[in-house]
Amino acid sequence: MMIYMDNAATTRMRREVVEAMLPYMTAEYGNPSAGYELAARAKKAIEQAREEIADTLGCEAEEIFFTSGGTESDNWAIKSTMMAKNRGHMITSKIEHHAVFHSCRFLEQKGYQVSYIDVDADGLISLEQLENAIRPDTRMISVMAANNEIGTVEPIAEIGKIARKHHVLFHTDAVQAYSNIDLNIERDEFDMLSVSAHKINGPKGVGFLYVRKGTKLPPFMCGGAQEHGVRAGTENVSGIMGMAKAAKLAFQNRKMRLSHEYEIRNYMISRIQREIPYAKLNGHPTKRLANNMNFSFGNVDGGTLIAMLDHQNICAASGSACTSASKEASHVLKAIGLSDEMAHAAVRLTINENITFQEADYVINCLKYDVMRLQSELG
């Protein structure tokens, strides 16, 4: 039986989520922009979903805008904010998801200036360097709430305070963090926040962008007047309904889910560090997502190790799913100081609340056998 340990890449949709979506794929198929009763019911369902999602963040429904996922939300927040003026400066970190990282590179090609802030060996951003990087023309700061590869949770409340102090917009990619850490719109002082449904047992191809009321964010996609005129395109009604149900369930059982994940994660980290030679935990030892483990194993190729685990019916990853085909060393692992060799030796295991201790033991035992086999072959 397959043991799935790649939940940072995507999660399995819950049965309740599928059931919430089905009516809007069949009988309730109306286009929300049309003018008859079938369409009105679809429109009403979308607005109800918007309210349910807003409740999870403690914000107003009108501050939630539906998108195709975290990548679109990141692109919209960054590009539209910066390109509203002909020039300007923004700040980000060296370990952002590629949706942010490549958006920043795009802006640089257009003549905008971007500062990339260092992180320490655990992946925590330098708050001092961040504040010192702010200039009179700095328009926004974009720093992820929690890293998708190494699981490190950033000091977002402190970043928010710095941004507000200097009157700079603060955007966070919360794709990995949403429902997995405590996000507080007022305390953390977010102006924009990106989320993707498929990370919380929802459907792929749908997400949202929180935009604080009063924040001027020009449209990213042009066309019709959907989403209050700022995000064109016929709404993905079934996807939105699935995301709202997934969000509701994720927050309902959050305390129990995270408690179980912490217990399994800490157990696995302890055994791996104790029993597997040259195992290095990447990311902060405690300030990390409950479900995340990222290890580099000396004298091991991560890609080969992933393939061996696959033959043992274990799904794991060697880095971000968005860059799994790349032969370059992870920019995240390089930013925390790993050599190319150790970066290529990395394996990410991300669990969910359904993982048992028996399954964890099986994965550890397979990992131990495979790593020691590879190390002996290279030794």
Comparing CA positions, the residue from 250, 267, 264, 89 lying closest to residue 176 is: 250
Q: Following DSSP, what letter does each residue of 343-373 receive, concatenated? A: HHTEEEEE--TT--HHHHHHHHHHHHHHHHH
Neighbouring CB atoms inside 10 A of 314's CB total 21
State both tokens at 352: 């969910």
Check whether residue 305 and residue 226 sit in a common domain: no
Active site residues: 322
Q: Based on the domain organization, do 231 and 286 belong to the same domain?
A: no
Task: Indicate the number of domains in the chain.
Answer: 2
Residue 319 has a pLDDT of 64
Residue 93 sits in which domain range?
A: 15-252
**Exposed/middle/buried for residue 87 (C-beta within 10 Å: 0-12, 13-18, 19+):** exposed
Q: What is the mean pLDDT of each run of 10 residues along the chain (379 residues)?
A: 97 98 97 96 98 97 98 98 95 98 97 98 98 98 98 98 98 98 93 98 98 95 91 96 98 96 98 97 98 97 96 88 65 97 97 97 98 87
Q: Angle, nearest 10°, between helix axes 357-378 and 302-311?
A: 130
- 171 and 270 in one domain? no
Buried (b) or exposed (e) across 42-55, using 16+ Cβ within 10 A? Answer: bbebbeebbebbbe
Strand ranges in 151-246 using DSSP code E only, listed in sequence order: 169-173, 192-196, 207-211
Quickly count: other Cβ atoms within 10 Å of residue 262's Cβ: 13
- Amino acid code (one letter) for 9: A
Q: Quick one: 65 and 156 in the same domain?
A: yes
Same domain, 98 and 131: yes
pTM, two decimal places: 0.95
CATH number at 196 reads: 3.40.640.10
Q: What is the pLDDT of residue 215?
A: 96
Contacts of 6 (CB under 8 A, 6+ apart): 315, 316, 317, 321, 348, 349, 350
Residues 127 and 232 both lie in one domain: yes
- What does the pLDDT look like over 264-300, one tens digit per residue? 999 999 999 999 999 999 999 999 999 999 999 999 9
Residues 240 and 328 in one domain: no
CATH of residue 336: 3.90.1150.10
Same domain, 212 and 157: yes
Check whether residue 189 and residue 318 sit in a common domain.
no
DSSP reduced 3-state for 376: helix
DSSP 264-281: HHHHHHHHHHHHSTTEEE
**pLDDT (tens digit, 9 = 90+) per residue, 308-321?**
999 999 999 986 55
Q: Are residues 71 and 200 in the same domain?
A: yes
> Is 284 found in the same domain as 239?
no
Task: Examine the domain organization and report whether 304 and 156 are in the same domain.
Answer: no
